[in-house]
Structure 1
């Protein structure tokens, strides 16, 4: 990625404009870089204050794998919304599938998840992309994600 191809940082204020998610389900803290229609790199800071650690697991806190996948899907949603010709408006990015998911190691309080989505393929309102979550440059989870851009009122 060259500087000309890579867009700047997206802060939490803009992320909240792009995604409908809110606490405790907003799982992207910042976007470090993205290339519209191609890739995104975002982060999720994992702290002991996350509500899911109360039950998963009290004596050995581990971030649930499905929430890692959800964080990746949210990063992918930001990429897609920033890649469309116009604003999402009343449409939302709805997670529709997961394939080839693999979890390589647990994610624990104090970790910073680096969320990467790439190899995006779009056909009409459907999107498919590869995704990886890393901690300290080590892949902790990976999957192929699919989603659709749909009218929120149709749900």
Structure 2
């Protein structure tokens, strides 16, 4: 398992595929459009799924890219405009959003949480495929 992780970390580099995915992701994030994010994220994982049998290094590259963007990039980008710690904490407590912008941030947070935790049905197979971890997480 750790050998695969080392391969994934060592292989990170931006290529045309990740540039295209990044552009779509960042545009959706800038527009606070969870619908566009919900298209872009599964598309990235679909590339991982397609690439893995033929080019494991590239599959891990895309996997690392999308996870880094969701887990680290998104909070940093949003923190430039919003108090994401407060907003995401409120979303986690299932509070009602106070305005339309907060509602959109809550939706983005909940969407990212499903993908990061692999609870979204469309990507549940990814940890098993890449890391040999059970069929679902």
Taking structure 2 as the reference length, what is the TM-score of the superposition? 0.30
Higher strand share: 1
Higher share of residues assigned helix:
2
TM-score by length of 1: 0.28
